[in-house]
Chains A and B, each alone.
Chain A
Amino acid sequence: MKKINPSWKLIGVLAPIVILAFFYNITLNFVIFGGCLIVLAFSKIRWSTALKIMIPVAILAVGMYVTGMKFHAGANIGIGTSEGFLSDVAVENGLQLGSRVLAFAGLGLLFVTTTDIMELVRSLEQQLHFPVKFVYGLLAAFQILPNMQQEYRKTKAAFWARGVYPAAVSPRLLVPLMVKAVRWSEALAAAMESKGFDEKAQRTIYRRIPVRPVDYAFPFLTTGLLILGLLFL
């Protein structure tokens, strides 16, 4: 999985997700989740990272399961009524909703744990021909992330020192950060342009992201498997 071209991998994961959104099939959902885990088992991924990602997913899946069980279509029990209506339909409904979360998460995990983000960005530029202005603008903004975290803490500390305790999304706290955002964007753009960044100029590629015929086949493979699953499961 790690060797598949990131752009085509993205397409190959997104296509089944979009199709899957319109179908209800518990067995298929579990098969997809299991299949993804099996592929991951052969992909030399870091399981600690995968586990960390799976914690919120598990909370979501269980939450959706209980919701689907208690408030299934046609139950008409209303919010606040006590349980006691746990029929087979209810359990099936719960599984329906819970397993969907797992299926989507499996596909997501497949992508996230096997893709290097820098390679993804380079691939978006090289294979999908995203405008360079957007690719490098995106990268520049992404690199600001730690500064932004630090700035957020600093601004909050500055308010606390004055005995003011603003809420997490209070305009008082956010406006200074946005002022920074505007200043940073101007400075970064000026820095990039002064060093010769020009979107129209012919660019040479230092790190080439390879594309093999297998990569083009990947989206067709995933979508094909999903259609087979929809037909036979």
Chain B
Amino acid sequence: MSGKTKRYAWQLKDIIMIGILGVLFALIYLGAFYIGMALQGALTPFGLAPFGLEFMYGVWFMAATLAAFIMQKPGVAFVTEVLAAFLELLMGNFPIVITTGIIQGAGLELGFAVFRYKKYNMLSMCVSAVFACILSFIWTYFTNGYAALEVGMLVGMFAVRLGTSLLFAGVLSNLLGKGLARTGVLKGYPVGAKYVHQDIMDD
């Protein structure tokens, strides 16, 4: 690769790829959303309705940590999350997803930034998920008016969100990324070389 600029430049195929990943996870999220809604309805009589959607919050962050894992350069996590938010808007979601996407993207990006964009493994993906969880929870705190709620309830909701963030965006994204890299389709990306067993006989 010739110098810094080329490595950090965005190629059309990169943008389309993170877009398609965004579409894939948006579909999964949509499926989870209906389950979450049913759960929410069931939990309403107990006053625990918000937990219905907290259970799958981490799915939101999956595309971003995965894209960062594949491309390994600054800005990927943020751009993926914002792009995914615009995709959600195109699919008919409310405009508020844009602000949510920007805030979550900032959190996700921060997770890789603290490692100076040198570490792309389970650890940095988990840290990224934690930051996204914290920032998004602060934003939810304001939008949903959580100041009006009991502290114990808030702690509970935060714990659930943290758990799903780590599970989906940290662990599952990492497994998916490694699995994808092993298939060999990522040869053109930084992560490809690390996980594919290069065999001259193959080519």
Query: Which residues from chain A sit less than 8 Å from chain B, CB to CB?
Result: 10, 13-14, 17-18, 21-22, 24, 53, 56, 59-60, 62-64, 66-79, 93, 96-97, 100-101, 104-105, 107-109, 111-112, 117, 120-121, 133-134, 136-138, 140-142, 144-145, 148-149, 152, 168-169, 171, 174-175, 177-179, 181-186, 188-190, 192-193, 197, 199
* Residue of B27, B37, B44, B156 touching A56 (CB-CB under 8 A): B37
Chain A residues with CB below 8 A from B12, complex form: 133, 136-137, 189, 192-193, 197, 199
**Given A14-B98, A63-B52, A96 contacting B145 (CB threshold 8 A):** yes
User: DSSP majority for the A interface?
Assistant: helix
Chain A residues with CB below 8 A from B16, complex form: 137, 140-141, 184-185, 188-189
Judge if B77 is at the interface, Cβ distance under 8 Å: no
* Residue of A10, A67, A188, A192 touching B50 (CB-CB under 8 A): A67
Q: A181, B44: Cβ atoms under 8 Å? A: no
Query: Which residues from chain B sit less than 8 Å from chain A, CB to CB?
Result: 10-24, 27-28, 31-33, 37, 40-41, 43-50, 52, 59, 66, 83, 86-87, 89-96, 98-99, 139, 142-145, 147-153, 156, 168, 172, 175-176, 179-180, 183, 185-186, 188
For the complex, what is the distance from the CA of A63 to the CA of B49, rounded to whole Å? 5
Q: A59, B99: Cβ atoms under 8 Å? A: no
Q: How many A-B residue pairs have CB under 8 A?
A: 216
Closest to A130 in B: B86
Q: A68, B183: Cβ atoms under 8 Å? A: no
Chain B residues with CB below 8 A from A121, complex form: 90
Task: Tell me the minimal C-beta distance from A55 to chain B in angstroms.
Answer: 9
Q: A152, B142: Cβ atoms under 8 Å? A: no
For the complex, what is the distance from the CA of A111 to the CA of B180, rounded to whole Å? 38
Residue from A18, A21, A74 whose CB has the most chain B CB atoms within 10 Å:
A21
